């Protein structure tokens, strides 16, 4: 009996090891595929389109905007962005929806306010966001929810907008509380949905980056997030995998 139990446990250990190896191999292939995809986009017209968007409206790196465009184009289900600012990533995602040829709900959450910045400073974020989306011809593709991501009214508005659908792409670029925002909407994340999370790498003296990275690292360790790389200056890219199985 003991020998059979030992053999059974040994077999389970081998199976678990094989699954981990398989997952690691798949993850590596997906990382390489993303890098190759990014290289291909650099030779397409959308590259110059997004370069203009980056210069006018975004603090994100051009590579990140390209990946947001790509994910929005290929994903199934609606798209959620938390922290639109003046619309750089929102526009990239809207271009992706436009070029997919499919109807997809694109929801962006922005509380508004003002920001001092040498290139993108604004006294009224919401005013400039709406103007920029209209200027790029994508306002009709975007559902703008004005408010804080964690307010009950905002959560209710998001749930009402998507109904029973699950998000295929989530972009987090608000404050440092990444886990808080994920907890608010995780029940609406499709398993394997693309995740783009900014402010996850940089100087340890930056409190926002340290807190964001701590949240992402904890969720990765717990098996909720699957990392596929860092892009641009500080943006984490990966997938949502839900509770660890």
Count each helix (H run) and each strand (E run) in the chain, helices first: 8, 7
**Could you tell me the pTM of the whole model?**
0.89
Where do the domains of the chain lie? 1-41, 48-240
Quick check: 215 and 177 in contact, CB under 8 A? Answer: yes
Q: Could you give the CA distance from residue 14 to residue 20 in angstroms, rounded to a whole number?
A: 10
CA dihedral 145, 147, 153, 157 (to 10 degrees): 10
pLDDT higher than 80, residue 202: no
pLDDT of the residue at 204: 61
- Average per-residue pLDDT for the chain: 90
| CATH class of the domain at 48-240 | alpha beta
pLDDT band at residue 25 under the 50/70/90 scheme: confident
pLDDT band at residue 8 under the 50/70/90 scheme: very low
Q: What is the pLDDT of residues 209-242, one digit of tens each?
A: 999 999 999 999 999 999 999 999 999 999 999 8
Residue 38: other Cβ atoms inside 10 A:
18
């Amino acid at each position: 009996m003991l020998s059979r139990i030992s053999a059974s446990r040994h077999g389970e250990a081998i199976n678990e090891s094989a699954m981990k190896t398989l997952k690691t191999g798949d993850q590596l292939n997906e990382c390489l595929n993303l890098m190759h995809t990014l290289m291909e986009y650099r030779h397409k017209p959308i590259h110059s389109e997004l370069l203009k968007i980056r210069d006018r409206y975004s603090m994100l790196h051009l590579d990140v905007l390209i990946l947001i465009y790509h994910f929005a184009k290929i994903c199934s289900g609606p798209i959620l962005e938390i922290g639109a600012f003046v619309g750089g990533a929102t526009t990239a995602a809207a271009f992706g929806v436009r070029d997919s040829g499919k109807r997809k709900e694109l929801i962006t959450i922005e509380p508004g306010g003002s920001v001092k910045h040498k290139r993108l400073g604004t006294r009224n974020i919401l005013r400039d966001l709406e103007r920029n989306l209209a200027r790029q011809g994508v306002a009709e593709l975007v559902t703008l929810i004005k408010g804080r991501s964690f307010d009950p009214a905002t959560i209710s508005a998001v749930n009402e907008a998507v109904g029973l659908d699950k998000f295929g792409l989530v972009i987090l670029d608000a404050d440092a509380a990444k886990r808080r925002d994920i907890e608010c909407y995780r029940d609406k994340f499709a398993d394997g949905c693309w995740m783009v999370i900014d402010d996850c790498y940089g100087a340890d003296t930056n409190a926002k980056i340290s807190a964001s990275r701590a949240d992402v690292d904890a969720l990765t360790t717990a098996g909720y997030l699957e990392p596929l790389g860092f892009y641009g200056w500080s943006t984490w890219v990966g997938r949502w995998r839900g509770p660890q199985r």
